[in-house]
Amino acid sequence: MAQSLPTASDLERERGVDLRIAQCEACALVQLPIEPVPYYREVIRAAAYSPAMAEFRRGQLRRWVDAYGLGGKRVLEIGTGRGEYLGLLAEAGVTPFGTEGGAEAAQACAEAGWPVQLVFPEGDDVRLEHGPFDAFATFNFMEHWPRPREVLRCVARHLVDGAIGLVEVPDFDMILRQRLLTEFIADHLMYFTRETFAAALRLSGFDVLSMDSVWHGYILSAVVRKRAPLVVAGFEQWRAEVARDVGRFVGAHQERGVAVWGAGHQALASLAAFGLGDRIAYVVDSAPFKQGRFTPATHLPIHAPDRLLTQPVGAILVMAAAYATEVVARIEREFVPAWRTRGAELPALAVLGEHGLECR
């Protein structure tokens, strides 16, 4: 336990442990399948005493703030320790806030005047104070978490849309190259390569904007952005517009009957979504296993295409997706000559495609 060194009184009962290393077959993440150390929610930074590290962080944070326009914004640090980096964040021009899982360290932050909440951000019931935040940062802390995605998702709930993050972990690619066996410690449950680090961040709701190996190759430093949800409002607008056009077409020919060619999933969904169940005479489809069945929800009979000859209609609405061109060509090649030979009036023809309704 690298952050909990024994005192003289602890030596009699203090013992080493054997570490077993495992790798996930699904995502390739290397990890220790052990219980986390008791203090995994706390940050104890020996690096805080290094002037060289402080100078590195000072420059790094200034560049990060400038590059992403974070000046004056609210930035949350996950795992503040005693507030060492909160001061550097303030120097970089942001308004810093923090979370810390250790009561003593959180109290030190409060005494220094930093707004730090005594909490480890894990679980749906956690509510972070002072949010929502414009950005967040966490430095060499994620590898301690037994459930990193749960923590990152909790953080994401307290960020504004498009918030920027700076997330760092030890660089396992370097550890592998250098065969640094002593980098395996009970404190670190997760060992991230570039690939597994990026995967964990993406699966937690963030897009990875950049990733670099920093601090002499020991640290993977990723800049991320909170992923915006996909906008699906346009589907309803499209449905309304197409339903209007299809309704007009069907209404104009309903007296002589309208047949639909196509019993694929798009056609079946369209019949239900546009409320055509009682306005269509029947459906035809070339697939024998569909013939003699009925359409779900709308309960229209499905026939072989020859039904168009035995039960003529005034219009055909083709709903065959990528097969529409093939279906139209077949109608013109096989059915139009047959109707003309019989002296029958040719039905109106329309195709419902990705761009809406197209009358032929």
pLDDT digits (tens, 9 = 90+) for 17-70: 788 999 999 999 999 999 999 999 999 887 666 899 999 999 999 999 999 999
The pLDDT-based confidence of 233 (bands split at 50, 70, 90) is: confident
Average pLDDT over residues 175-187: 94
Alpha helix stretches (DSSP H) within 172-331 = 172-178, 194-203, 233-253, 265-273, 307-310, 324-330
Arithmetic mean of pLDDT over the chain: 94
Q: CATH 3.40.50.150 occupies which residues in the chain? A: 8-226
How many helices, marked H, and strands, marked E, lie in the chain?
A: 11, 16
Residue with tokens 């430093």: 221
Query: What percentage of the chain has pLDDT greater than the value 70?
Result: 96
3-state secondary structure of 17: coil
The pLDDT of residue 260: 98
Q: Residues of 310-332 as b/e, b for ≥16 C-beta within 10 angstroms? A: eebbbbbbbbbeeebeebbeebe
CB 158 within 8 A of CB 128: yes
pLDDT of amino acid 3: 55
CA 140 centroid distance within chain: 23
Compute the C-alpha angle 85/88/94, nearest 5°: 110
Lowest model confidence (mean pLDDT) among 8-17, 260-269, 280-289? 8-17
Point out which residues pair with 136 in neighbouring strands.
76, 165
- pLDDT attached to residue 154: 97
Q: SS3 of 85, please?
A: helix
Worst-scoring range by mean pLDDT, 37-46, 154-163, 206-215?
Answer: 37-46
pLDDT band (50, 70, 90) for residue 147: very high
State percent of the chain over pLDDT 90: 89
Residue 1 reports pLDDT greater than 60: no
- List of E strands, the chain: 22-23, 30-31, 74-78, 95-100, 116-118, 133-139, 159-170, 190-191, 206-214, 219-226, 258-261, 282-284, 302-303, 315-318, 348-353, 356-359
Least confident of 10-24, 39-53, 72-86, 176-190: 10-24
Selection from 266, 282, 247, 279 nearest residue 319 by Cα: 266
**Which residue reads 């079946």 in tokens?**
268
- In the predicted model, is pLDDT for residue 139 greater than 60? yes
pLDDT on residue 48: 65
Boundaries of CATH 3.40.50.720 in the chain?
233-359
Q: Which tens digit of pLDDT belongs to each residue from 325-359?
A: 999 999 999 999 999 999 999 999 999 998 899 99
* Second CATH level (architecture) for the domain 233-359: 3-Layer(aba) Sandwich (3.40)
Cα–Cα distances in angstroms (integers) from residue 178 to residues 88, 181, 192, in the given order: 31, 9, 15
Q: Which amino acid is at 140?
A: N
The pTM assigned to this predicted structure is: 0.80
For residues 76 and 158, is the Cβ–Cβ distance under 8 A?
yes
Task: Quote the pLDDT of residue 9.
Answer: 75
Best CATH choice for the domain 8-226 from the list 3.30.420.140, 3.40.190.10, 3.40.50.150, 2.40.110.10: 3.40.50.150
Phi, psi of 11 (to 5 degrees): -65, -35
